[in-house]
Amino acid sequence: MKSKSPNTSLRTGTKAAEIRQAFLDHLTCSLGRLPAYASAHDHYLALALTVRDHVVHLGVSSFGGKESKPQRRVAYLSAEFLPGPHLANHLLNLGLSETARKALASLDIDLDAVLEQEEEPGLGNGGLGRLASCYLDSLATVGVQSIGYGIRYEFGIFDQQIRDGWQVEITDKWLHGGNPWEIHRPGAARDVGFGGHTESWTDDFGRHRVRWLPAITVRGEAYDTPISGYNSDHIALMRLWKSEATESFDFEAFNHGNYDRAVEQKVDSENLSKVLYPNDSFRHGKELRLKQQFFFSSCSLQDMLRILEMQGAGPENFHEHWAVQLNDTHPAVAVAELMRLLIDVHLLAWDQAWEITRATFSYTNHTLLPEALEKWPIDLFGELLPRHLEIILEINARFLDEVRAAFPGEDWRIARLSIIDENGPRYVRMAHLACVGSHTVNGVAELHSELVKQTVLADFAEIWPEKFTNVTNGVTPRRFVALANPGLSTLLSKAAGKTWPGKLSKLSKLEALADDAEFRAKWRQVKLANKSRLAELITERTGILTDPTSLFDVQVKRIHEYKRQHLNLLHILSLYLKIKRDPTADIPARTFIFGGKAAPGYFLAKQIIRISTAAGELINDDPDIAGRLKVVFFPDFNVRNAQYVYPAADLSEQISMAGMEASGTGNMKMSLNGALTIGTLDGANVEIREAVGEENFFLFGLTADEVSEVEVCGHHPRQHYESDTELRETIDFIASGALGGGSGLFQPLIANLLEHDPYLVLADFRAYGEAQQRVSELWTNPEDWARASILNTARMGKFSSDRSIREYCQRIWKVKPGKPSE
């Protein structure tokens, strides 16, 4: 029987004394520090190395030795990962949090101060990258052998500062203090070619073969970060590729005195993985981006083949050993690369290679936005990847032949289905390539998956209806509840038992307690404490004072017109004007909190940030408002900050134009933490509302069908402006320059709304205001609000990423998780 003292981990049996000793050993031996001279950062590194030892131990056994019977593994190919700080999450997963706290306390070191030292790896933009990390967490938790493959960007997403109300981008330096989590694997390095040409040759059996002679070769160095699972013996691996030159110098050039040329190739090669493109909804037609995509896809596939070989299997068994998920089209070129590796390098026949390829890949679509759909000019593609272009053209020719045979006389299908867009300059359509090369295509929420079939991939859904499916996104309750919201976690464990982080449907046990006044009081206490904690942080970061008893109304996500932060701002300013007109107006106190990054080149998104800071400057200190409204722009929204924000939300703003937000995952995180949602019928909002009950959700706005209708019939934003006094006064107020900066400052935003309003902000303004009115009414009855809040948490069990991952395993990857389902 293991000790039950918090001095010992219940699961691993590790004692505080062992942690203490390992910590001191790492301080001295790994970092070369005398404990007396160690800095807080040294403490962090030493504890990280101590914990890493535990995780790596698990990892070595979970990946099995050569003798263990290999089972199908999952490779999650993603250009982005946003894991957040690792240390606290590992401690939680291993059940070592209290043990570590004790161990450090015995050395007079505060664990929380140590945790503060970690720089998070910002290797992603937003939802897509964070989803990839939630999925690795769940893969480790449910016990699936898996590797998340990606790019080890030296510079991840920029750090955001606000200066004079505007966003300023600061280079992210996540590697500067050293990264204790990764293990460099020189033995796994792979070479990747670019450019050059192809040539034909004939093999011994007289068969026509092609080989690619690249002009340039870049080396991919592998860096592994172990990802632990909750209460699990498995770990998942995040294997990220760093680009390096194959030779440090071109010595010939160097010897001839041409130093510049000598280092040029080295610099070019290293630039490949230098920086993440900071855009979450806009494709970059930049050559470097395509290079990044091919680089990590090729390294990853070569790595899978290497592992296959170690297992004694051949390339003809590739699909039996690997299920490869394409996280959006960013790694879609992998379809052509696997074909090349199989036919050119391993000399398989085309048909066999194609069967293997299609049995291997599946593709997740995350966006319908036309400006985000990836396509590459065919010339650029052919210059960089001449062999891959040939292969894609061959895949396309064979595919279109099949279509012609199946649908004779229906030639209109050809141009629409073709992987090559020939309406004008020619492009390779990456979604078409991903779809043709995959056995399954999924969207990320029910509505989105339907829209994928009706819009971007409609022609494919018609010919291959069985290929399309839905897997609704999920989030990890470990990081976003257990870690982020310890107060709530204690309450949940008492009410629903301790197993909820691994079995989220257990939260349904809370239902009955929604009617228990004593429980509601505790619930409200927890929320208030979380809000106070956030209020302190807000003051520290922005100087703004907020009242934790006011309604915390939160919109945190990337800044984009389709997400409609400006709809929220119009509403705030309309409330402001209402109070100015009538100081006795019955408007309960609210704190509006915004957070999120704008793509550096996205002018209107930056204007939206500026208008939210301007609204704060105007409103926060206005004596007429007397603190009843506060507007905060919380700078640098990232995973760490999110862990403070989500638990403090009373109201979750999910107000995208219907049909635009593929799923959303912040919506899940807030509802799980007991926020009520105000939202449109978009993405996963639809399913959240279904789950929590329509009476516990503030619905408003046009539906996706109504939006398409408006788009077809044309719309007239000015009509809304003219017919709605409140709206007109609010817009006129902004246009008048009353927000400071002169009347021209927000002109571009105003003109955009009045002339185009592509995301129907004005059309939804009234309905949004009415829904907000219902919010205010419920808020004035704290008991009813608390009841609805409890029911939100109680009914969110479906949205654990464990459930999503089990669906992928069962319906798409055909792998069996080690841990049986709940």
What are the catalytic residues?
Answer: 366, 557-558, 563, 665, 669
For residue 369 the two structure tokens come to 């936005």
d(CA 71, CA 60): 16
Task: Give the shortest CB-435-to-ligand NBY separation in angstroms.
Answer: 17
Q: Interacting stretch for ligand NBY, rule CB under 6 A, among 127-135, 189-197, 214-222, 712-720?
A: 127-135
Task: Give the shortest CB-486-to-ligand NBY separation in angstroms.
Answer: 26
Task: Give the shortest CB-655-to-ligand NBY separation in angstroms.
Answer: 13
Task: Give the shortest CB-277-to-ligand NBY separation in angstroms.
Answer: 5
Residue 207's H or E segment, with its range, is none
d(CA 595, CA 167): 11
Residue whose C-alpha is closest to residue 530's, from 647, 615, 419: 647
**Residue 769 interacts with ligand NBY (CB under 6 A): yes or no:** no
**Residue 659 interacts with ligand NBY (CB under 6 A): yes or no:** no
> Considering Cα of 712, then 718, then 720, then 723, what sign does the dihedral take?
negative
- Of 43, 52, 73, 283, the residue at the interface with ligand NBY (CB under 6 A) is 283
**Residue 553 interacts with ligand NBY (CB under 6 A): yes or no:** no
Select 372 or 589, whichever has its Cβ closest to ligand NBY: 372
**Residue 473 interacts with ligand NBY (CB under 6 A): yes or no:** yes
- Of 661, 687, 757, 802, the residue at the interface with ligand NBY (CB under 6 A) is 661
> From the CB of residue 713, how many other CB atoms can be counted at a distance below 10 Å?
8
For residue 406 the two structure tokens come to 């199946």
Task: Give the shortest CB-150-to-ligand NBY separation in angstroms.
Answer: 12
Q: What is the DSSP string of 325-339?
A: EEESSTTTTHHHHHH
Of residues 427-466, which lie at the interface with ligand NBY (CB under 6 A)? 444
Tokens 């706005």 — which residue? Answer: 701
Residue nearest to ligand NBY (CB): 127
**Residue 277 interacts with ligand NBY (CB under 6 A): yes or no:** yes
Task: Give the shortest CB-473-to-ligand NBY separation in angstroms.
Answer: 5
> Considering Cα of 450, then 77, then 602, then 633, what sign does the dihedral take?
positive
Build a one-symbol-per-residue string for 87-126: x at contacts with ligand NBY by CB under 6 A, - elsewhere. --------------------------------------xx
> From the CB of residue 533, how many other CB atoms can be counted at a distance below 10 Å?
15
Task: Give the shortest CB-816-to-ligand NBY separation in angstroms.
Answer: 25
> What phi and psi values does residue 76 have, to the nearest 5 degrees?
-100, 105
Q: How far is CA 138 from CA 55, 376, 475, 740, 819, in A?
A: 15, 34, 9, 48, 11
**Residue 77 interacts with ligand NBY (CB under 6 A): yes or no:** no
**Residue 682 interacts with ligand NBY (CB under 6 A): yes or no:** no
Residue whose C-alpha is closest to residue 590's, from 559, 609, 568, 605: 568
Give residue 75's identity as a one-letter amino acid code: A
**Residue 279 interacts with ligand NBY (CB under 6 A): yes or no:** yes
Q: What stretches of 466-589 adopt beta strand conformation (E)?
A: 468-470, 551-556
Select 127 or 502, whichever has its Cβ closest to ligand NBY: 127
Task: Give the shortest CB-365-to-ligand NBY separation in angstroms.
Answer: 9
How far is the first Cα of the chain from the last one, in angstroms, to the nearest whole number? 25
Length of the chain: 822
What angle separates helix 350-360 from helix 386-406, to the nearest 10 degrees? 90
Given the DSSP bridges, would you call strands 427-429 and 375-377 parallel, antiparallel or unpaired? Answer: antiparallel
Q: Interacting stretch for ligand NBY, rule CB under 6 A, among 92-100, 192-200, 540-548, 655-663?
A: 655-663
Q: How many residues bind ligand NBY (CB under 6 A)?
A: 23
Select 8 or 78, whichever has its Cβ closest to ligand NBY: 78
Which residues pair with residue 198 across a beta bridge?
212
Given the DSSP bridges, would you call strands 197-202 and 216-228 parallel, antiparallel or unpaired? Answer: unpaired
Select 279 or 792, whichever has its Cβ closest to ligand NBY: 279
**Residue 366 interacts with ligand NBY (CB under 6 A): yes or no:** yes
Task: Kindly list the residues in this chain that would bind ligand NBY in the complex (CB under 6 A).
Answer: 125-128, 131, 277, 279-281, 283-284, 366-367, 372, 374, 444, 473, 661-665, 683
